[in-house]
Amino acid sequence: MAEPLNILMVSSECVPYAKTGGLGDVTGALPGFLRRKGHDARVVVPLYSFIDRKKFNINVTVENVSVQMGSGKITFNICETINSEGVPVYFIDNGQFFKRDNIYHDNDFNDYHDNPLRFTFLSVAALQLCRVLSFKPDIVHANDWHTAILPAFLKRLFRDDPLFVDTASVLTIHNIAYQGRYARYYYDYTGLSENDFIPEKFECFGAVNFLKGGIHFADMVNTVSKGYESETRTMEGGFGLDRFLNEKGEDYIGILNGVDYSQWDPAKDTMIPANYTMDDMKGKAVCKSALQKQLGLEQSGETPLIGIVSRLVEQKGFHILAECIEDILNNMDVQFAILGAGDNRLETFYGDLPGKYPGRVGSFVGYNNDLAHLIEAGSDLFLMPSIYEPCGLNQIYSLKYGTLPVVRATGGLNDTVEDYDQIRGEGTGFKFSEPDCRSIYKTVSLALDTFGNRKDHFNKLVKRAMEQDFSWEESAGEYIKLYARALAKKKHR
């Protein structure tokens, strides 16, 4: 094995403490796998007030640590727990910034106005924590725009500190649409100099763009699938940052997310009413019946059931599905189980649908992890019509649960699902290219026809899907190579 590394992962989300989407899944799982490979990976996240300190055994480690922010000092406590994989997880406890009901927005889905301050603070606090705990990181691993300022902090404000002279930085882009673009005022607050407020670095039409600065300063940058890496290098997929990613050349790569099969495997999932395996699928029928009962759907093993679990935002394509789901319901024998939260209009639309199609559509608006597991296990098909998808985790969970994904062929969805070959009866799901109603309608229709009329093919696909292995084992190895490249770059500078 290569030299063991000290790795500090900094993130706004981390499972099981705080999650809105896949970012939390990734930062919750990857450090454990790095640790299993002999590295000292640790995590830093905010101590949001909704995190249950008792349940997770979170204790205060150091009180009254302070950092400079703007013209003032901010004080915080460092709290700590050890997660189920033995990873030390540090929490930044500061009431001013993190005593909130949610991670990013108020209960009406309005972003907290001080988000740039909150996450700049998280980033600077994470480095201060290293000093206080005498943890000398080889790698600081930033995630998305929230902590993208870390590489610049290391190369500027913390440059002369012996603790960080050998530290290299990695930035993972989980979603390039969220860049953290804010008024210039927030840049001044970071303490970085005027020299770095230029178009090649943080400046963007007079405003600050945190993700862009991160791309410039990080020793290595990656995103969460190879497909999305290619897409973000184009004008259409780069959301204005393609030029900067292309300038990184080979220092920008794609690494597919893994899945934590200790949480997402029908053979051992503790949140579903019956377990099952490829060789004994009886439990899946039990899960389907339980799901139908829980969401008020008609009890029927024969009727194909399509599951949906998603943030209800434009990225995910549910505004397009909204235009054709009623055509599907009116022309096909099918049930839907829908779980989602997000955009108010979409919440209302999908929340009202069961009233219009009683017994055929069941929906739950909100966040519900137990139901997410039951939908994966109890559905026959899983629909993800994303406009773009950096990686996507639910289609990978679906494969393991033998719930065939019906996906738009984009980013990580395209990389992880093999399209149904109607001649040979091979594949692991159903793919379509265009983000429009016609394609969704046609592909759902093909999937339902295969379910109903070509059972041999359908069952073959289910078996092949369940055989797929996207465990973190391999992807964690890719991250270790990425860290080694970041360190090599740092040394040669």
Contacting positions for ligand GLC (CB under 6 A): 21-23, 26, 174-175, 224, 257, 389-393, 412
By three-state DSSP, how is residue 30 classified? helix
Q: Which is nearer to ligand GLC, 93 or 415 (CB)?
A: 415
Residue 12 interacts with ligand ADP (CB under 6 A): yes or no:
no
Binding to ligand ADP, residues 290-329 (CB under 6 A): 309-311
- The DSSP symbol for 2 reads P
The span from the CA of 363 to the CA of 493, in Å, is 55
CB 19, min distance to ligand ADP, A: 7
DSSP code per residue over 420-436: PBTTTTB-SBEEE-S-S
Query: What is the three-state SS of 62-99?
Result: EEEEEEEECCEEEEEEEEEEECCCCCEEEEEECHHHHC
- The DSSP symbol for 302 reads S
Residue 21 interacts with ligand ADP (CB under 6 A): yes or no:
yes
CB 405, min distance to ligand ADP, A: 11
Burial class (CB in 10 A: 0-12, 13-18, 19+), 433: exposed
Q: Which is nearer to ligand GLC, 23 or 89 (CB)?
A: 23
CB 453, min distance to ligand ADP, A: 30
Q: Which is nearer to ligand GLC, 23 or 321 (CB)?
A: 23
Cβ-proximal residues to 380 (8 Å cutoff; 6+ apart), any chain:
288, 304, 305, 306, 403, 404, 451
Candidates 139, 295, 339, 480; binder of ligand ADP (CB under 6 A) is 339
DSSP code per residue over 184-203: HHHHHHHT--GGG-STTTTE
Burial class (CB in 10 A: 0-12, 13-18, 19+), 280: exposed
Longest dimension (CA), the chain: 69
Note whether 405 and 429 are within 8 A (CB): yes
CB 435, min distance to ligand GLC, A: 15
Residue 25 interacts with ligand ADP (CB under 6 A): yes or no:
yes
Q: Which is nearer to ligand ADP, 372 or 486 (CB)?
A: 372
Which of the listed partners (ligand ADP, ligand GLC, none) does 340 bind, with a CB threshold of 5 to 8 Å by partner kind? ligand ADP
Nearest one of 123, 166, 165 to 143, comparing CA atoms: 123
CB 387, min distance to ligand ADP, A: 11
CB 185, min distance to ligand GLC, A: 28
The span from the CA of 319 to the CA of 349, in Å, is 9
CB 210, min distance to ligand GLC, A: 16
Residue 272 interacts with ligand ADP (CB under 6 A): yes or no:
no
CB 389, min distance to ligand ADP, A: 7
- Number of chain residues interacting with ligand ADP (CB under 6 A): 18
Q: Which is nearer to ligand ADP, 215 or 339 (CB)?
A: 339
CB 235, min distance to ligand ADP, A: 22
Residue 369 interacts with ligand ADP (CB under 6 A): yes or no:
yes
User: Which residue has tokens 């009254």?
Assistant: 64
The span from the CA of 493 to the CA of 481, in Å, is 19
Q: Which is nearer to ligand ADP, 154 or 372 (CB)?
A: 372
Residue 22 interacts with ligand ADP (CB under 6 A): yes or no:
yes
51: its two tokens: 């995190």
Q: Which is nearer to ligand ADP, 196 or 376 (CB)?
A: 376
User: Which residue has tokens 């001013």?
Assistant: 96
Residue 398 interacts with ligand ADP (CB under 6 A): yes or no:
no
Binding to ligand ADP, residues 128-147 (CB under 6 A): none
Residue 372 interacts with ligand ADP (CB under 6 A): yes or no:
yes
Residues that bind ligand ADP (CB under 6 A): 21-23, 25, 309-311, 339-341, 367-369, 372, 391-394
